[in-house]
Structure 1
Amino acid sequence: MTDISPEPAAGGPGDGIPDDLSALFADPALRDRLEKEARDAVRGTRAGMADATTGTPRDLPAPLPAPEASGLVFDDEDDDQEHGAVPAPRTPAEVQRTWKDAFPEGTFDSAAWAHRKKVFLHKLAWHAGHTHVYMWRLTKLSALGVGAGLRDGWHYYTAQEYAEMVDTARRKNMAPDMVAALREERLEYARARRREPMLIGATTGVGTLIAAAIAVAQVYGLLAASPAAMLTLGVLSALGLREHRRRNPDEPLTAAFAVLPASTAEHAPLTDDLLNRVLRIAKVFTKDEHAVTLLEPIRPAEINGIEAKFKLPEDIQFSALVAKKEAIAGALDIEAHWLDIRQDGSPTRVSFWYCSSDPFGQPRTSPLVDKPERTDVWSRGILIGFNRRNLPVYLKLRHVMALLGGMSRTGKGMLLRNLIVGLGLDPRVNLRLVAGAKPGEHRGYAPICSTFFGRRPDRLIDLLEGFLKEAYRREEILEEQGRAKFGEADLDEFPLEILIIDEYKQYASSSMRIPDPTDDREDGPRRTIKACDRIAELLEEIAAFAAALNMTILISTQDPDANTVPRGYKSNTGARAATRTGGAVQTNAILKDGATGAGLRAHEIPESLKGGAIVDIDGAPGELIRSYFIEDEEFDGAADLIRAGLFLREEMGRAPGQFPDPIEDYLLAVTGESSLAGGPTGSGRPGRPAGTPGARVELGVLELILDAFEDDADRIQMSAVRAHLADYSHLRWGQQEDETEAAYTARVGKELAAAIDEALEGTGVELTPKSGMRFGKDDSGREIKGSGFHRSHVEAAVEAARNARK
């Protein structure tokens, strides 16, 4: 319990304090001083600055819930007294003001000034490039001014107002002597005006200026006469503007000489004028009075980007901008994915970002490649890529099921590569990887995998059953503790179990049949069901409740349709990522129903954007990203990261095999084979653990034959089987020196037949090569025939041998 009372006075407790406390409060001055000192002491404690009611209980607000993050916790000695939440004392940076605070925001912002400089230079270049337009307009105005000046001067010199009076008098048939008097008066006024000093001086000055400009131009050239010429031109243009306004009183004064808007230039720097123009072109603004209000200065952003934060008019909401995103991008002459519009607080506050070049144009290597570091999967997430603003994107796999999908060769594997190496760098994660096709491409991840195997539907069922069994065990512990879910503090005892099933479609379309677990009769043959149906059933059951138990499943699949991913599993997924898909149906199958209508169109990701994906995850809902690059063709760029992860796990006793693993122990007990760190060979082939007697090695022969099949092939030649067996163990199955081809074929055939018979002993199932099988045509068009195996026959043999072991 923490004591937050002020420290006692010097001299120890009770120093200077009388025994009779009533006498202490008898003096009003002393009482006031003590109260003031108590208030000052409170201000320096956790409670912060006290208000005017300190020491007097009133209707205080309920205390705020304690934060989850670690930190100091202050307990009150009186548990029955309810205290209000008082803000912590403000730091000096919060309360201290400087002379800079008196200036508008952005006055001393170097980034804002850099943008202002860019805007100024662009306007200067823009207007300089349109000098000919301005000179033509000045020339027209000057000509208008010359005409107006000559006309007004002539009218003044000759007193034309009297001429109009004479014409009026004549039209009204006034007396001739009246008309003559007006004419005489006109002549007198005209003579008097021509002798006015102001008129003489102005005429002399204008004439001298023009004559001087002409003389200087003839002697020294036009450049020397330009100041006088520009002055003359300015005077004449002013006269022209005045005349234009006289002729067009309803038009604004600037209509005759409007400055060309620099915002109309291609890729002009962003200004509020350009923003308003773009939003009007995109039909977001439909009224003349609509305009944005900048909340802070426009400033440069990442990767040649520009960002503006502004407020929309009150009758326009943020959703209107999102609906017009493509039109806005068109008005800016950029691609739609170069633009990012986000709500910045209220529905009328907007963070508007775009760049004039492709933000995903250049691939970026994962920062972990150059600097491997421990990953915080729980709090921060796994670094998987970057968004259009060049900000890193993290995927959190806590209390969530996940789904990753897309077409082949669209970057799905690279996204999964970033995910796996990130998981390997957190020792609190038990990583289990199941490959739907050949596990060779994932073999490099084996050292950090608690479970790793490939293309074995029956073993995946066993794994999911062990996963479910562990989930029930954890759920019972939660029930005993009266808790709803595990947290980060439980990771030491209950590590984060993450199962990744890659190429799930291979399992969803598997034709293998297994005994029905609901058929418990002891006599007669048991009923069978499809393995794919059992897998889907287990996935849905696990997804319904296991996320809160620090247990996560991530499914990766390509070309999915509405029926590929089990509906019960998909409805419980909270993290989804889709690389480029083949159409709206596939997009909705990966992300969510109605995703395309919400703007999440993964099928519209440009083909040129390798590794591009739309993620719908915590912190980046519906955002377009590009996965970081980790070399996987010329060399294994993830090898150092895997070694770093393994070293980190070994140092903490969390490497595969160093800690109790109920799920892998269940697999070993059921199948007799281990897939820890990829099995005995680390290749993703389960096998008997070293030093463990009793496992039947011949069973591995059947699975080796199954591994030899191509992904979608339903049959295989014996020559391909022999080659695959030789790759696995050249000493046993390979062609030896001085051994002829015929002798090699005969030897391997006999050994293989004997191994198969021994593996299937007592099962009632036989597996022999079929002769005369057709395997397509060769380059010359001749049909290929030979002996081989059917996939369905091999799968049935593997299942029969597996059931015999249970």
Structure 2
Amino acid sequence: MTDISPESTPGGPDDERVPDDLSSLFADPDRQDLLEKMARQQVHGTRAGMADATTGSEHEIPLPVPPAATVVGGLVFEDDEDQENGAAPVPAPRPSSDGWTWQDAFPTGTFDSAVWAHRKRVFLHGLARHAGHSHVYAWRLSKLSGLGMMAGARDSWHYYTAQEYADMVDTARRKNLAPDIIAALREERLEYARARRREPLLVGASTAVLTVVAAAVAVADVYGLLTASPAAVLLLGILSAMGLREHKRRNPDQPLTAAFALPDGAGGEHPPLTDTMLNDVLRTAKVLKEDQEIRLVEPIRAAEINGIEARFRLPQEVTFSQLMAKKEAIAGALDIEERWLDIRKDGSANRVSFWYCTADPFATPRTSPLVESPERTDVWKRGILIGFNRRGMPIYLKLRHVMALLGGMSRTGKGMLLRNLLCGLGLDPRVNLRLVAGAKPGEHRGYAPVCATFFGRRPERLIALMEALLAEAYRREEILEDQARAKFGERDLDEFPLELLIIDEFKQYANSSVRILDPNDDREEGPRRTIKASDRIAELLEELGAFAAALNITVAVITQDPDANTIPRGFKSNSGARVATRTGGPVQTNAILKDGATGAGLRAHEIPESIPGGAIVDIDGAPGELIRSFFIEDEEYDGAADIIAAGRALREELGRAPGQFSDPIEDYLLAVTGLSSSGGGPNGSGRPGPLSDTEGLDEPATVLTLMLDAFAKAFDPERMSTQDLLPCLAVMDPDIFSYEALGLDEPAEDASPEDARSTVVSYGRRGGKKLAEEIAKVLDGTDRELVAKEWTKGGRGRGYYLADLRSAAGIAPE
């Protein structure tokens, strides 16, 4: 490389003079790229970059690498905590010339399989396109051959007859020249014509052409057309060439390729992208002018989900914002939907990563990789795997030092997002997972083994839990103050684990009519004031959101049908991670994401119903991106069971399972309420109980609990028939409600329909009687009752109403 340092002496053998007009260096884009590369290499040779071999010693002196750094492929990666504490990154040593490989001598993309896959697709598409229009080419070739035959016959006749003299005779007549001149021209024409007919070349050429034609006809007559095809093809090629020449003479302004150009619309659907096609698309969308074009910085490559990616440099007159403003027009020019197109900056203001696919990238669901391989996750650095974006890239939700908000309409995928979130959190033992269900606690019962706290439908207990977290936050804040630090990091997780409170169906708590004693009213005499539990919950939520994130304490709120008043403003403004599934309108979208989100293009209310689990995420690493959550089976069977079991085993191995470690939060709840909700309570159902009751509640209480859980798993319908209740109860308590416990044999697989129906009817009668007896035992000695009722509306049936069940269980109506 030429030495361009200030110490260089002019006049040496390698001296390069600087031109007087520096604009000439930047006129050529290729020269500009070369200068940019040379400048980058020169910066690497300074003290701020890598060791400079041109100005120092002959040998490179590698810089020392601290123990906290990791060297991979010549690059130094700093530990995350060192970055947080202000440690400066250590520059990597300059790679030596020995690192050069023979692949570097070839153009970019030469050994890239994705590039060759796209090139193969372009070739096959072109081949299929031209083969599919072979009839068009055959007809045009025939027309050109006929034109060539006519032109050849005309030119031959004109040559044989010296037609140019006939033209001169006509010109002489029009000018009224003397008759002797015209006669002389005619005589000269006859002499020239006789001389031409005796030329050896003309005689030989005519004889050869006639011989080839006669031979082709004779061979075709004797041996068939296939045998004569070589001669016919040769003759057809000659005539086509003559016709093409005549076509050019008649149409001098058209290129020769216009004779074979296919009509518009003959390219088929979604042809592979090429640089020419990309320039045409941008011109059609009015991004580029006719005299402008983009330049590829690397070959076009195939991408995931039938996608295509191109990286290019915009002209200097075109900005990235102008390109993004025409995104809809670009999608129209490509004949795709706008959400199938993704345009991003690629390292600089005028470099673009252009990606699109020819089919809906979210049409096919993807199963979470944790289902097949439930390995330990890194919630702190990498985040929780929740879904994939339109490019097929995995999306991770980081919950360190942030508050989180997830919302959307009912049945739009919030449950599946939460399922991915809980499974990922369960596989990191450094997280104390505290799950609070606002509705349907039975739906989350399977996560109890990895939950340090799990309960549902208890506003008073949620208040106590948040007060315990607030007390823990103040304790941790004092420790940070003593250590003169601003926040906890990853290395503090052993002593101060990530406390993560997830409140599902928060609207049930926000609209709760339960009243509690006012904590600010400390008078000893007279009745104390009461306040709504929802007001106290909102107050505590805002207080935690204001400062607890830096203390390894995170709160994630999940709600449906939110409005401006559902989420406390103080918590929302401090939420750094927001996820919105499909909403009912712009107001709900702004309530979840941020004020003005719809104006910024984050339109969660426009997510198509055809994308189950579709959501817009506004998180670190994916701001305002449309994703689809990974699928974990939850209807046919519990697809999360193996993941939770793996998480439980991992926690038990490290002594981090519920009940194995000192838990100040649960200790506080136990002291205040006398009940424990560690691991979902004594029976893991989300119902808190006394710590000494390791066998669960007594039989009578369990019956009502199981019925509530059965309703919850059915998404709390208004009523359930006894015939539908009994199978659920048999799974949860087979000792009482199974076929065997009721003295019946389950229907055999080969049993006739009549026998199976008879057995089911008998099971319903005996099970219904047994259920009534168990309910009577529970309510014996109380003033409550629960009886089966019949109904005819919506189909005849007999069973229990949810409102009656809750009243019998002592649950106050909301």
* Partner in structure 1 of residue 555 of structure 2: 553
User: C-alpha displacement at 1:401, in angstroms?
Assistant: 0.9
Change (3 A) 1:174 1:749: closer
Q: How does 1:793-804 map to 2 (within 5 A)?
A: none
1:162 aligns with 2:162: no
Alpha-carbon distance in structure 1 between the residues aligned to 2:693 and 2:810: 28
1:228 aligns with 2:231: yes
* Partner in structure 2 of residue 765 of structure 1: none
Contact 2:287 2:326 in 1 (8 A): no
Report the RMSD for the aligned CA atoms in angstroms.
4.6
* Partner in structure 2 of residue 237 of structure 1: 240
Change (3 A) 1:447 1:169: closer
* Partner in structure 1 of residue 7 of structure 2: none
Contact 2:717 2:802 in 1 (8 A): no
What SS does the aligned partner of 2:164 have? Answer: helix
Alpha-carbon distance in structure 2 between the residues aligned to 1:360 and 1:785: 40
Offset from partner CA, 1:697-744 (integer Å, 9 cap, x none): 9xx99x979979988999999x9xx9999999999xxx9999999998
Choose which of 330, 350, 354 in structure 2 pairs with 1:352: 354
Alpha-carbon distance in structure 2 between the residues aligned to 1:671 and 1:322: 57
Contact 2:402 2:577 in 1 (8 A): yes
- Kindly provide the amino acid, as one letter, of the partner of residue 319 in structure 2: Q
Alpha-carbon distance in structure 1 between the residues aligned to 2:614 and 2:170: 85
Change (3 A) 1:417 1:96: same
Any unmatched runs of 5+ in structure 1?
1-42, 56-62, 75-83, 754-767, 799-806
1:605 aligns with 2:607: yes
Q: How does 1:707-722 map to 2 (within 5 A)?
A: none
Choose which of 67, 89, 106 in structure 1 pairs with 2:93: 89
Choose which of 332, 335, 340 in structure 1 pairs with 2:342: 340
* Partner in structure 2 of residue 187 of structure 1: 190
Alpha-carbon distance in structure 2 between the residues aligned to 1:186 and 1:770: 125
Change (3 A) 1:507 1:287: same
Contact 2:441 2:709 in 1 (8 A): no
1:176 aligns with 2:206: no
Change (3 A) 1:344 1:155: same
What SS does the aligned partner of 1:108 have? Answer: coil
What SS does the aligned partner of 1:405 have? Answer: strand
Alpha-carbon distance in structure 1 between the residues aligned to 2:56 and 2:678: 64
Alpha-carbon distance in structure 1 between the residues aligned to 2:120 and 2:801: 77
Choose which of 745, 751, 755 in structure 1 pairs with 2:781: 751
Change (3 A) 1:566 1:730: farther
Q: How does 1:43-82 map to 2 (within 5 A)?
A: 49=51
* Partner in structure 2 of residue 251 of structure 1: 254
Choose which of 417, 420, 427 in structure 2 pairs with 1:418: 420
What SS does the aligned partner of 2:412 have? Answer: coil
Query: 785-794 vs 557-566, which deviates more?
Result: 785-794
What SS does the aligned partner of 2:227 have? Answer: helix
* Partner in structure 1 of residue 384 of structure 2: 382
Alpha-carbon distance in structure 2 between the residues aligned to 1:201 and 1:97: 64
1:120 aligns with 2:123: yes
What SS does the aligned partner of 2:276 have? Answer: helix
Contact 2:145 2:240 in 1 (8 A): yes
1:104 aligns with 2:104: no
* Partner in structure 2 of residue 677 of structure 1: 679
When normalised by structure 2's length, the TM-score is 0.77
Alpha-carbon distance in structure 1 between the residues aligned to 2:273 and 2:207: 50
User: C-alpha displacement at 1:99, in angstroms?
Assistant: 4.2
Offset from partner CA, 1:141-174 (integer Å, 9 cap, x none): 2232223222222222222222232233333333
User: C-alpha displacement at 1:503, in angstroms?
Assistant: 0.8
Contact 1:302 1:390 in 2 (8 A): yes
Q: How does 1:689-768 map to 2 (within 5 A)?
A: 689-690=691-692, 749=779, 751-753=781-783
Alpha-carbon distance in structure 2 between the residues aligned to 1:690 and 1:320: 68
Contact 2:405 2:577 in 1 (8 A): yes
* Partner in structure 1 of residue 26 of structure 2: none
Query: 451-460 vs 592-601, which deviates more?
Result: 592-601
* Partner in structure 1 of residue 399 of structure 2: 397
Choose which of 634, 639, 642 in structure 2 pairs with 1:640: 642
Choose which of 517, 523, 526 in structure 1 pairs with 2:525: 523
Contact 1:775 1:785 in 2 (8 A): no
1:477 aligns with 2:507: no
User: C-alpha displacement at 1:752, in angstroms?
Assistant: 2.8
User: C-alpha displacement at 1:349, in angstroms?
Assistant: 2.3
* Partner in structure 2 of residue 763 of structure 1: none
How many matched pairs? 714
Offset from partner CA, 1:508-551 (integer Å, 9 cap, x none): 11111122222233322222221112111111111111111111
Contact 2:515 2:532 in 1 (8 A): yes
Offset from partner CA, 1:462-492 (integer Å, 9 cap, x none): 1111111111111122122221111101111
Change (3 A) 1:251 1:716: closer
Alpha-carbon distance in structure 2 between the residues aligned to 1:331 and 1:374: 45
Q: How does 1:259-408 map to 2 (within 5 A)?
A: 264-281=267-284, 283-408=285-410
Alpha-carbon distance in structure 1 between the residues aligned to 2:780 and 2:423: 44
* Partner in structure 2 of residue 78 of structure 1: none
* Partner in structure 2 of residue 578 of structure 1: 580
Contact 2:790 2:797 in 1 (8 A): no
* Partner in structure 1 of residue 465 of structure 2: 463
What SS does the aligned partner of 1:752 have? Answer: coil
Choose which of 629, 632, 653 in structure 2 pairs with 1:630: 632
What SS does the aligned partner of 1:751 have? Answer: coil
Offset from partner CA, 1:163-202 (integer Å, 9 cap, x none): 2322333333332222222222222222222222232233
Alpha-carbon distance in structure 2 between the residues aligned to 1:786 and 1:364: 36
- Kindly provide the amino acid, as one letter, of the partner of residue 452 in structure 2: S
Alpha-carbon distance in structure 1 between the residues aligned to 2:171 and 2:629: 89
Contact 1:774 1:785 in 2 (8 A): no
Contact 2:220 2:227 in 1 (8 A): yes
Identity of aligned residues (%): 68
User: C-alpha displacement at 1:376, in angstroms?
Assistant: 0.8
Query: Over alpha carbons, which structure has the higher Rg?
Result: 1
Change (3 A) 1:321 1:67: farther
What SS does the aligned partner of 2:781 have? Answer: helix
What SS does the aligned partner of 2:228 have? Answer: helix
Alpha-carbon distance in structure 2 between the residues aligned to 1:777 and 1:404: 37
What SS does the aligned partner of 1:474 have? Answer: helix
* Partner in structure 1 of residue 31 of structure 2: none
* Partner in structure 2 of residue 803 of structure 1: none
Offset from partner CA, 1:570-596 (integer Å, 9 cap, x none): 111111222222333322222223333
Q: How does 1:498-517 map to 2 (within 5 A)?
A: 498-517=500-519
Change (3 A) 1:285 1:242: farther
Contact 1:360 1:609 in 2 (8 A): yes
Alpha-carbon distance in structure 2 between the residues aligned to 1:638 and 1:737: 31
Change (3 A) 1:264 1:440: same
Query: 114-123 vs 434-443, which deviates more?
Result: 114-123
Q: How does 1:447-462 map to 2 (within 5 A)?
A: 447-462=449-464
Alpha-carbon distance in structure 1 between the residues aligned to 2:693 and 2:215: 112
Change (3 A) 1:515 1:729: farther
When normalised by structure 1's length, the TM-score is 0.78
Change (3 A) 1:774 1:574: farther
- Kindly provide the amino acid, as one letter, of the partner of residue 381 in structure 2: S
Change (3 A) 1:709 1:314: same
* Partner in structure 2 of residue 652 of structure 1: 654
- Kindly provide the amino acid, as one letter, of the partner of residue 88 in structure 1: A
Contact 2:436 2:504 in 1 (8 A): yes
Offset from partner CA, 1:110-142 (integer Å, 9 cap, x none): 442333233222212221221111122122222
Contact 2:775 2:786 in 1 (8 A): no
Alpha-carbon distance in structure 2 between the residues aligned to 1:776 and 1:521: 55
Contact 1:127 1:262 in 2 (8 A): no
